């Protein structure tokens, strides 16, 4: 009894989420895709590290942190560009994107220094 109801719950949850997500604008979905790709790349690196060992630890850290870093920055961009956020309605999306590019530039420069 409990199991079927939780299964139904999970199914209903899934459908509800899917329908709500389908309503989001295309540019936000592109950003979400980017975030998903970055996290996926990070997970691959973690699995690789688990198999091979973490010897040049700075290389491992720089690889994983570049993925997480750019994912986090993309989420920040998504927040700033999303029309539903009232706090950011005065912020032109070009400015948000320029900030995003600048932060990514700094991130990757530091990563390149850290790769070793």
Query: Which residues contact other proteins by CB under 8 A?
Result: 6, 9-10, 12-13, 16-17, 20-21, 57-58, 61-62, 65, 68-69, 72-73, 75-77, 79-80, 84-85, 87-88, 91, 96, 99-100, 102-103, 106-107, 110-111, 113-114
State the Cα–Cα distance between residues 105 and 107, nearest whole angstrom: 5
Least spacing, CB of residue 9 vs other proteins, in Å: 5
Least spacing, CB of residue 1 vs other proteins, in Å: 16
State the Cα–Cα distance between residues 25 and 82, nearest whole angstrom: 9
Distance of CA 12 to the CA centre of its chain: 25
Least spacing, CB of residue 44 vs other proteins, in Å: 19
- Choice between 34 and 110, CB closer to other proteins: 110
Token digits for 43? Answer: 């997970």
- Burial class of residue 6 (count of CB atoms within 10 Å of its CB; 0-12, 13-18, 19+): exposed
């Amino acid at each position: 009894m409990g199991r079927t109801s939780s299964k139904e719950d999970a199914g209903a949850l899934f459908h509800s989420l899917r329908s709500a997500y389908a309503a989001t604008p295309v540019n936000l979905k592109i950003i979400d895709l980017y975030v998903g790709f970055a996290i996926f790349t990070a997970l691959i690196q973690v699995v690789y590290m688990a198999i091979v060992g973490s010897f040049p630890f700075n290389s491992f850290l720089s690889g994983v942190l570049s993925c997480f870093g750019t994912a986090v920055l993309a989420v920040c961009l998504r927040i700033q560009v999303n029309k539903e956020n009232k706090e950011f309605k005065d912020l032109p999306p070009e400015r948000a994107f320029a900030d995003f590019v600048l932060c990514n530039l700094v991130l990757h420069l530091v990563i390149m220094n850290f790769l070793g």
